Amino acid sequence: MTNWQPGASLAMLRYRAKLLADLRKFFSQHGVNEVDVPLLGRSTVTDSNIESIAANTLGGSGYLQTSPEYFMKRLLAAGTGDIYCLGKAFRNGEAGQRHNPEFTLLEWYRCGWDEHQLMGEVADLISQIYTANGQSPVAVHRGSYADYFAEMLAVDPHAATLDQLQQLAVAAGSHSWAGETRANCLDLLFSVQVEPRLPQGLVFVYDYPACQSALAQTTTNSQGHLVSRRFEAFLNGMELANGYFELRDGAEQGQRFAADIRARSAANKPVVALDNHLIAALQQGLPSCAGVALGVDRLLMQLQGADSIAQVMPFSWDRC
């Protein structure tokens, strides 16, 4: 029989509706305006670890957006001030207990703030959501990437040689990690060795390795290592949000995109053209700001104790 029914219970769908309303209420109270940017764009992300879904129209190539980031940055450069977007995002090939190719993302930007101020607001938001749900707020922890990494693996991730990281990755993963890049070895080690042992509650990890900067500014930490002004939030050991003190240098962003495109080409992945609209907006001038993207389905999973993302969305991909 065709399984036409939703994957989420009717009670879960009501919790979901309340969560979406509570999120909008928070931003309304904090003077942040909602924007509904396009889901279908002519350009897309160049990041070699994020695959877009191609959707062609009007005789040209298009893509379902993997996040609202580029459109939102163009709005910020145009002078909108603080904005948020609560909508869908798409990532090709991602499906599992915590992944669905289409998912709900909350992304927002605060002008004049840095990443540490924004972490504070993420904590306030989560606390308000838990309270509105009749639950007590979760404990909040903050620590640098190097602190958590060293605590679990006894190695400084910024100072370790590639050889050291590869050996650790082979031990933690399989022999196939022997020739991997620094960024990939760090991803494996953090996901497999560090993430599952993070404390319960809301954990902010900041000062990511410089090789994982993406769209964040870099800085030198107190030990003299170049680090990224990027943070991630984990809720009860599950990755929930990713934030940046945003890079504003159009030339540097263009170089990072070009490096992404070279990496894609080397890995035989589809090559996408860089988004000239975004580069032009950055050249015009992005206000100093911090931004963060938060997985709404995962937040609902944690709030309601669901094991699988399919239990919290009306129709996951296997029911579509």
CA 284/CA 145 separation, integer angstroms: 33
Count CA atoms closer than 13 A to 82's CA, side-chain side.
14
Q: Does 243 bind another protein (CB under 8 A)?
A: no
Q: Does 222 bind another protein (CB under 8 A)?
A: no
Cα 101 to chain centroid distance, Å, stands at 14
Binding mask 44-63 for another protein (x = CB under 8 A): ---x-xx-------------
Q: Using CB under 8 A, pick the residue from 46, 65, 212, 316 that binds another protein.
A: 212
DSSP string computed for 53-72: EE--BTTB--EE-S-SHHHH
Q: Does 219 bind another protein (CB under 8 A)?
A: no
Cβ 192 to another protein shortest distance, Å:
6
Q: How many CB atoms lie within 10 A of CB 56?
A: 10
Distances (CA, A) of 92 to 53, 58, 191: 5, 22, 20
Cβ 253 to another protein shortest distance, Å:
15
Strand partners, 273: none
Count CA atoms closer than 13 A to 1's CA, side-chain side.
3
Between the two ends of the chain, the Cα-to-Cα distance in Å is: 15
CA 234/CA 223 separation, integer angstroms: 25
Q: Which stretch binds another protein (CB under 8 A): 74-82, 127-135, 159-167, 172-180?
A: 172-180
**Please, which of residues 283-312 interact with another protein by CB under 8 A?**
293, 295
Q: Using CB under 8 A, pick the residue from 69, 102, 115, 232 that binds another protein.
A: 232
Q: Using CB under 8 A, pick the residue from 55, 95, 155, 279 that binds another protein.
A: 95
Q: Using CB under 8 A, pick the residue from 173, 245, 264, 311 that binds another protein.
A: 173
Number of residues located near another protein, criterion CB under 8 A = 30
Q: Does 172 bind another protein (CB under 8 A)?
A: yes
Binding mask 118-157 for another protein (x = CB under 8 A): ----------------------------------------
Among the listed residues 138, 152, 159, 143, the one whose alpha carbon sits nearest the alpha carbon of residue 201: 138
Contact residues toward another protein (CB under 8 A) are: 47, 49-50, 93-97, 99, 172-177, 180, 183-184, 187-188, 190-192, 212, 214, 232, 239, 242, 293, 295
